[in-house]
Amino acid sequence: MDILTEIMAHKRQEIADRLRDVPEEELEALFNPGRPSLFQALAGHDKVSVISEIKRKSPSVGDIASGASALTQAGHYVAAHTEAISVLTDEKYFSGSINDLNDVTAYIQESQTGVPCLRKDFFVNSIQVVEAAQAGASAILIIVRALTDEEIQTLFRSARLAGLDAIFEIHNTEDLERAIHADAQIIGVNNRNLATFTTDLALSEELIPQIPEGCASIAESGIITIDDVHRVKAAGAQAVLIGQALMEHRDPGAFIREIHSL
């Protein structure tokens, strides 16, 4: 069993007592025309956009920044004009929480910076979309490999009804074909092999050129240095999602500004 299979099994069990039918009317009531758009933040300019992640630990490396404050980290990111912030809300494997997302989106709203936030979690049911919207998120994550086509369609439809974007995360060509079939507007290539934990940017170099024009393309995982950013930019990535490197950096804002200078 690879780690994604383990995490998804745990997530389904974790949310079992919260499951209920979510009517369309409830999702539509969450629509907020003033909610920042992740898609718009990533598209329409030549520079590489940065999705800066708040990530305290991961199954692959263990503790990264175990005592980090989500608000402090978000402050560094916003000051450097990151295009978006990813907030990990999974507790068991990443030491995150929905409270982190609430805190960060409240700070962004108060500061009037309009930075969209991704709820980074393992989505399996529409109730998680409701929670994301209520917490102020602008987008959810759909991990194509981990879901059936029906689950993907339900999550994406729920997100659109609530006015949220969705990142379709892919790991191979089959995932890409399924994402395209589902009319994905934002596609992220995860460079991590979830069986071995190794990362290989060659995956972004292979898959990003196949992403249709009009979709926003993101390179995820394994982006540690500015040379890594150069590689995925050359492959056509419009954005990079960076967690560990920013959490460990003594000046994360400096790294974001360096990427923006490319």
pLDDT in tens, 203-216: 999 999 999 999 99
How high is the pLDDT of residue 1? 63
Would you say residue 29 lies in a domain? no
Domain count, the chain: 1
Would you say residue 248 lies in a domain? yes
Which CATH number is 234's domain given? 3.20.20.70
Would you say residue 7 lies in a domain? no
Please enumerate in sequence order all residues whose Cβ is within 8 A of that of 95, keeping only pairs 6 or more positions apart, or say none.
Answer: 56, 57, 66, 88
Would you say residue 23 lies in a domain? no
Would you say residue 170 lies in a domain? yes
Per-residue pLDDT of the chain (262 residues; tens, 9 = 90+): 688 999 999 999 999 999 999 999 999 999 999 999 999 999 877 889 999 999 999 998 899 999 899 999 999 999 999 999 999 999 999 999 999 999 999 999 999 999 999 999 999 999 999 999 999 999 999 999 999 999 999 999 999 999 999 999 999 999 999 999 999 999 999 999 877 778 999 999 999 999 999 999 999 999 999 999 999 999 999 999 999 999 999 999 999 999 999 8
At residue 212, the 3 state secondary structure works out as coil
For residue 85, the cross-strand partners are: 52, 117
How high is the pLDDT of residue 193? 85
Neighbours of 38 (CB within 10 A): 30
The span from the CA of 139 to the CA of 151, in Å, is 17
Domain residues for 225?
A: 48-260
| Among 99, 7, 53, CA closest to 220 | 53
Neighbours of 232 (CB within 10 A): 26
Would you say residue 238 lies in a domain? yes
As to burial, measured by CB atoms within 10 angstroms (0-12 exposed, 13-18 middle, 19+ buried), residue 59 is: middle
Considering Cα of 79, then 135, then 87, then 48, what sign does the dihedral take?
Answer: negative
Would you say residue 21 lies in a domain? no
The span from the CA of 159 to the CA of 209, in Å, is 26
Q: Could you tell me how many residues make up the chain?
A: 262
The span from the CA of 128 to the CA of 30, in Å, is 13
Token pair, residue 108, equals 């962004």
Would you say residue 92 lies in a domain? yes
